[in-house]
């Protein structure tokens, strides 16, 4: 049963020219219904979109159709504030109900400012402002979270209260324009919903017949990118004029995003070049392999050792490989690419362990490790295996919050560790200590170095999680670069440390002698 087919058959709406017209679906509305029919109701839907694309109108019409076609149906729409509650009900729902043909208009028991109840059908539809305890003591079959990114209540609390009221096959639709890094962004990233992004240029009326008089450097580059994406000139002209009309130019990225990642950008204060990061995200680089390393732990009188290191493919693994260890072999000698590993242990509120492997010769990221809620020793084992795999890479792990991983590497006899100088406050002598210490002196240096490297060659980084962290790595009110509220910077800091270690160890290929059996046979007459 598909009640929403009534929309184009019998419903009318007021268009942007204030005319009452038949409700014919636009392109994005039609694409949403196609996705709805394809995926069913097993998971909620999450619609991320630009301004004024018609989704609130569509989803309101869908709920009204369910009310008309099903007995004992209960629908609910949540808006971000009271004004939008009244607008949704009066301007959309009630207006569409009032214009229904008399033969299809059921008798309304309640027709108030926020509720329609049809007594003979036993069906109803309500609207309300989002709050922590909405939905309790109700049974619901359809819930529309309108502009969910702008809710002032906690989304977790709202889900708990409404979650108990939903029937097993209920329809749930989250719909919003983006509003920075908050609970709504976390829900989008969680993978629990059918995520649907609709770019602004999929809306037919967003067109203009000419460009504005002048275009700045950013706009010129953006228009060139849009042309490569196949966006026609009329839509590009409209985008240019919309951009020119904004005093805060970053607003156009949020209100009329070109990609889903761009939609969540909140500020021009991104520490890294935002457009370069977005460009790398759009390239969609995929890892060669995903998995983890396994090894055997041996105990003897000499202590604990690791051996039999091996790779295990696992889609849920914590390690992503983007480059296999590089080497080149010529007569009488072999050359090994130099690799550096930077690591950030869990600490200061973070529950993630991270590490990045960098090819010191090319500067490109070769592998990433991102592991949540593990232990120091298990993390250290992965680092040990990663290091051996990548030509005995030089490893520098942050030691601010835990020395345990670095001490484990020393205990297992890992051959190449980053060594820092430490001044003894009593003797005044310098000594070498393993591991990297992030402090007020070293942190700005390694971040500035990473920022310059990425600006010069954005292709050095292709890991999606790292790029997303770079996108949410912003300057706070004091100008200090750090992760935006509620976000992480484990991979960013690991990458910065890795490039610092690469400078420390040198970026030249490492030469090692190799035996040439043919040469030995020719000169020493042995087989």
Establish if 349 belongs to a structural domain: yes
Backbone dihedral angles phi then psi of residue 288, each to the nearest 5 degrees: -70, -40
Indicate the pLDDT class of residue 258, thresholds 50, 70 and 90.
confident
Establish if 259 belongs to a structural domain: no
- Return the SS3 of 51: coil
Establish if 8 belongs to a structural domain: yes
Average pLDDT over the chain, rounded to an integer: 85
Alpha-carbon distance 218 to 275, whole Å? 9
Residue 464 is predicted with a pLDDT of 92
Residue 443: enclosing H or E segment and its boundaries? helix 442-456
Indicate the pLDDT class of residue 523, thresholds 50, 70 and 90.
very low
Above 80 in pLDDT, residue 178? yes
Q: Give the count of domains, the chain.
A: 2
Tell me the pTM. 0.72
Mean pLDDT for 516-524 is: 49
**How far is residue 458 from each of residues 120, 282, 294, 461, measured CA to CA in Å?**
63, 12, 32, 6
Indicate the pLDDT class of residue 373, thresholds 50, 70 and 90.
confident
Establish if 19 belongs to a structural domain: yes
HSE-up of residue 119 (Cα within 13 Å, Cβ side): 5
Out of 261-275, 276-290, 294-308, 451-465, give the one with best mean pLDDT. 451-465
Write the CATH number for 439.
3.30.420.240
Return the closest-CA partner of residue 170 out of 35, 72, 3, 42: 42
Q: Is 410 exposed, middle or buried (0-12, 13-18, 19+ CB in 10 A)?
A: middle
Indicate the pLDDT class of residue 513, thresholds 50, 70 and 90.
low
Q: Is 331 exposed, middle or buried (0-12, 13-18, 19+ CB in 10 A)?
A: exposed
Specify whether 310 is located in the same domain as 447: yes
Establish if 125 belongs to a structural domain: yes
Alpha-carbon distance 240 to 214, whole Å? 9
Q: Which of 146, 176, 198 marks a domain boundary?
A: 198
Establish if 236 belongs to a structural domain: no
Q: Are 53 and 204 in contact (CB under 8 A)?
A: no
Write the CATH number for 128.
3.40.50.300
HSE-up of residue 314 (Cα within 13 Å, Cβ side): 11
Structural domain including 401 reads 289-457+488-512
Specify whether 404 is located in the same domain as 506: yes
Mean pLDDT for 206-220 is: 86
Cα of first residue to Cα of last residue in the chain, in angstroms, is 81
Specify whether 167 is located in the same domain as 303: no
Alpha helices (H) along 390-439: 404-411
Q: Which of 168, 198, 228 marks a domain boundary?
A: 198
Above 50 in pLDDT, residue 163? yes
Specify whether 302 is located in the same domain as 158: no
């Amino acid at each position: 049963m598909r009640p929403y087919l009534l929309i184009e058959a019998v419903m009318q709406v007021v268009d942007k020219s204030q005319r009452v017209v038949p409700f014919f679906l636009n392109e994005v509305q039609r694409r949403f219904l196609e996705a709805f029919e394809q995926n069913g109701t097993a998971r909620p839907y999450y619609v991320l979109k630009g301004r004024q694309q018609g989704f609130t109108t569509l989803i309101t019409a869908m709920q009204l159709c369910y009310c008309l076609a099903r007995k004992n149906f209960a629908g609910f729409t949540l808006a971000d504030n009271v004004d939008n509650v009244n607008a949704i009900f009066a301007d959309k729902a009630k207006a569409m109900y009032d214009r229904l043909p008399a033969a299809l208009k059921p008798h309304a028991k309640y027709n108030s400012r926020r509720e329609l109840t049809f007594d003979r059908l036993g069906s109803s539809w309500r609207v309300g402002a989002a709050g922590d305890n909405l939905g309790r003591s109700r049974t619901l079959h359809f819930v529309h979270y309108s502009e969910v990114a702008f809710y002032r209540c906690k989304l977790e609390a709202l889900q708990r209260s409404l979650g108990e009221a939903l029937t097993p096959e209920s329809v749930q639709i989250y719909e919003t324009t983006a509003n920075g890094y908050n609970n709504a962004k976390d829900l989008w990233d969680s993978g629990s919903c059918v995520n649907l992004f609709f770019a602004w240029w999929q809306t037919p009326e967003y067109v203009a017949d000419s460009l504005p008089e002048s275009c700045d450097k950013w706009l010129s580059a953006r228009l060139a990118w849009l042309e490569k994406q196949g966006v026609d000139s009329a839509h590009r002209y409209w985008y240019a004029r919309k951009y020119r009309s904004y005093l805060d130019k970053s607003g156009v990225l949020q209100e009329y995003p070109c990609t889903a990642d761009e939609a969540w950008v909140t500020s021009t204060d991104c520490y890294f070049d935002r457009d370069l990061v977005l460009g790398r995200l759009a390239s969609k680089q995929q890892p060669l392999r995903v998995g983890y390393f396994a090894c055997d732990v041996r105990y003897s009188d000499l202590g604990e050792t690791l051996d039999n290191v091996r790779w295990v493919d696992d889609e849920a693994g914590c390690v992503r490989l983007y480059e296999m260890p590089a080497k080149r072999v010529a007569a009488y000698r072999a050359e090994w690419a130099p690799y550096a590993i930077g690591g950030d242990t869990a600490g200061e509120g973070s529950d993630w362990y991270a590490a990045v492997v960098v090819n010191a010769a090319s500067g490109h990221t070769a592998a990433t490790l991102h592991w949540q809620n593990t232990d120091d020793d298990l993390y250290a084992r992965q680092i040990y295996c990663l290091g051996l795999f990548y030509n005995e890479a030089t490893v520098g792990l942050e030691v601010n919050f835990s020395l345990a991983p670095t001490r484990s590497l020393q205990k297992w006899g890992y051959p190449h560790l980053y060594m820092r100088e430490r001044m003894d406050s009593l003797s005044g002598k310098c000594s070498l200590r393993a591991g990297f210490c992030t402090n007020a002196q070293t942190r700005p240096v390694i971040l500035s170095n990473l920022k310059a490297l990425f600006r010069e060659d954005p292709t050095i980084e292709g890991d999606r999680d790292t790029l997303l962290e770079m996108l949410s790595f912003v300057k706070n009110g004091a100008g200090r670069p750090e992760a935006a509220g509620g976000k992480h910077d484990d991979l960013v800091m690991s990458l910065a440390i890795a490039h610092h270690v690469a400078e420390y160890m040198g970026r030249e290929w490492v030469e090692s002698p190799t035996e040439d059996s043919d040469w030995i046979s020719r000169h020493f007459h042995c087989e």
